[in-house]
Amino acid sequence: MLSIKNLRAGIEGKEIIKGFNLEVKAGEVHAIMGPNGSGKSTLSNVLAGREDYVVTSGEVLFKEKNILEMSPEDRAREGLFLAFQYPIEIPGVSNINFLKTAINEIRAYKGLPPMEAKDFLKMVKEKQALVELQGSLANRSVNEGFSGGEKKRNEIFQMAMLEPTLAILDETDSGLDIDALRIVANGVNKLRSPQRSFIVITHYQRLLDYIVPDYVHVMYEGKIVKSGGKELALELEEKGYDWIKKEAVEA
């Protein structure tokens, strides 16, 4: 599904990702943890194709295609979805209109006709329920005046609507209270399938109580320094990151 080899990337001449490797197979959930400034958010931005970031070497294959040569919109149309850490507000544009445009752009890319209005509305209803989003929220402007929790739920709602093959969740748990966290996690769990993979970026083990990962990786200074199963997250929660940093330095 996703194969990242020796990726080096940065912003404004500063290298942040320093030889990053990761293999994600279909249906797997990978958690990436790590202290502040280790390059987790940069990684998600680079994968999504944000223009400010420059890739200096390495390769990223997504479904056997080199996505580093693709525009951000084509990556999205290929099925890569990023749930933003800070979802953006677009005043005056309804959530529904926004999603309809997105879905039909993705369908056009695949050579499909625009979705029938009836099917679209049915889908909206169904997927809203997944994240317990109020009907009225779908008609409001994209993220405008949403609470922090609503914004994050809206990200998961969009993910459900766009049905990506790979979803990257960039600190989706940050700023969520325990109820919102559970709703978001439930939504994600319902979207898990043998064809869909997830990369869950988080600071805290808490989210991983709800979204149980297949693998946990610790990122430090731009690369993965330790990988393990879900127990690694618990160990990190207990011992912090210092021992990892020490190990990394010694290595």
CB of residue 209 vs other proteins: minimum separation in angstroms? Answer: 28
Instruction: Say if strands 197-201 and 166-170 run parallel, antiparallel, or are unpaired.
Output: parallel
CB of residue 101 vs other proteins: minimum separation in angstroms? Answer: 6
Please list the residues that pair with 167 across neighbouring strands. Answer: 81, 198
Beta strands in the chain (DSSP E): 2-11, 14-24, 29-33, 53-62, 65-66, 80-83, 90-94, 141-142, 166-170, 197-201, 215-220, 223-228
Closer by beta carbon to other proteins, 112 or else 212: 112
Q: Nearest CA to 137 among 168, 160, 129?
A: 129
Q: Summarize as ranges the residues that interact with other proteins (CB under 8 A).
A: 48-51, 71-73, 76-77, 81-82, 84, 87-93, 97-99, 101-106, 108-109, 114, 141, 158, 162
CB of residue 78 vs other proteins: minimum separation in angstroms? Answer: 9
Closer by beta carbon to other proteins, 92 or else 145: 92
CB of residue 48 vs other proteins: minimum separation in angstroms? Answer: 5
Tell me if 242 sits within 8 A of 224, measured CB to CB.
Answer: no
Closer by beta carbon to other proteins, 167 or else 200: 167
Both structure tokens of 160: 């459900």
Closer by beta carbon to other proteins, 171 or else 236: 171
Closer by beta carbon to other proteins, 23 or else 89: 89
CB of residue 240 vs other proteins: minimum separation in angstroms? Answer: 33
